[in-house]
Amino acid sequence: MHPLIKNVLLNKEEINKRTNQVALEIEEYYKKIIPNEEPIVLVGFLKGCVPFMGKFLENFSLSCQTEYMLISSYGSNIKSSGKPEILLDLKIPIENRHILIVEDVIDTGITLDFMVDYFKMQKPKSIKIVTMLDKVNSHKVDIKADWKCFDVGDDFLVGMGLDVNERFRNLPYIGVIDTEKLKNWKW
């Protein structure tokens, strides 16, 4: 384990098991409302969504299309600026489509709230949210995931897409960063 990681919060097996359970719950929901294999549009926000979205897709058997967007509110900081900016938009129209946002973590919720409002202007049939992690105590807006894998505390987390300065996204687990060590860390 890297010296900046204090401990493993969620291991690979726990993440895989819960992601599978949530994918099945979501399938059951959509089977009741979508006729004739109409594809659901799964939208992930780069870069953090990639590992979780991959795991989710392995377990999701309904017809779907995947789209990715790049939204920035962090820059090189460890805290959100609170001002989301779309750097890469969807390449397909979403009007009259079912949208499922596949998120790695809901932290303040500001970016996600901004994106839900952005999608609503495009008049989809529905917008739902699934997240791997939910930092409920960190929310600064009233936003809730329709499905989530885990509630977590306010620790600075890395792995499974979560990063510090673009590092640690590739860890197959969720680890807690030692923020005291990070202050003086020489990369």
Q: Which tokens is 187 given?
A: 């990369």
Active-site positions?
107
Helix (H) or strand (E) holding 181: helix 179-183
Cα dist. 50→70, 98, 123 in Å? 12, 20, 26
Coil, strand, or helix at residue 80?
Answer: coil
Rounded to whole angstroms, the Cα distance separating 108 from 138 reads 5
Q: What is the DSSP string of 12-68?
A: HHHHHHHHHHHHHHHHHHHHHH--TTPPEEEEEEETTHHHHHHHHHHH--S-EEEEE
